[in-house]
Structure 1
């Protein structure tokens, strides 16, 4: 069972969360609510989690296919529902940039498999009503 402990450490809304491995994640509210930019906002962390979850899958799939990745990044942007509470993620865009000796078709397929089959974060967001669009850019080097 996963376990996270949250402790208020900075102002009203600056928190450190620590998991069972001792990894610390800093969190805060937005400035309009009194946050001080101490850490990421909880909803931003969902996008972080999506990028990380998908990336672990994509890199693992490509390595199994003997694709050589020299550089890798993902940019995630999202738009939340306006004027409602709770304000869920509505539209999410992910741009995967992969450099190396990688076949474009394999990279595209790895992203598709991750988001539709393996990445629990992606499936959770989609079940909550979000749409996830992707763009995969492969640069051979």
Structure 2
């Protein structure tokens, strides 16, 4: 059986919208002032990158917990190239996983990333349909 997500997005005037989430929370979407908006919300394409990092990050965080790995800090940098022609879309995306700590188990952390990228992260799979992905792991040993 498949799952269906239903999101409602309401126009607030000018170029702003409010969109709900299956979590019960909502957020505002808007354009920059130079594009005719009020710069009062998040940008749609940038939200896609946040969704990508968040989806994979949740997988990796769950695996860090499951494997009882020591990580002081973990963050993801997502850098995307936007095409020049309309409709503009991301054709290349680099996802950098940064781990900081004194006792990083690099092999297991890389395994956690690989599992997310290759098996668990549905947003990653969606991105694969339209973009070339470059996955990088950076260990910052203290």
Q: TM-score of the superposition, structure 1-length normalised?
A: 0.86
Secondary structure at the aligned position of 1:69 is classed as coil
* Bigger fraction of residues in strand: 1
TM-score, with structure 2 as normaliser: 0.86
CA distance in 2, matches of 1:12, 1:112: 43
* TM-aligned CA distance change 1:132 to 1:22, over 3 Å: same
Which one of 46, 49, 52 corresponds to residue 54 of structure 2? 52
Runs of 4+ aligned structure 1 residues displaced above 3 Å come to 30-33
* More displaced stretch, 59-68 vs 45-54: 59-68
- Provide structure 1 residue ranges, at least 5 long, that are not aligned to the other structure: none
Q: Specify which of 33, 41, 44 is matched with residue 42 of structure 1.
A: 44
Q: CA RMSD in A?
A: 1.8
Aligned length: 138
Trace 1:1-141 onto structure 2 (pairs within 5 A): 1-9=4-12, 11-83=13-85, 85-100=86-101, 101-128=103-130, 130-140=131-141
Uncovered stretches (5+) of structure 2, i.e. residues with no partner: none
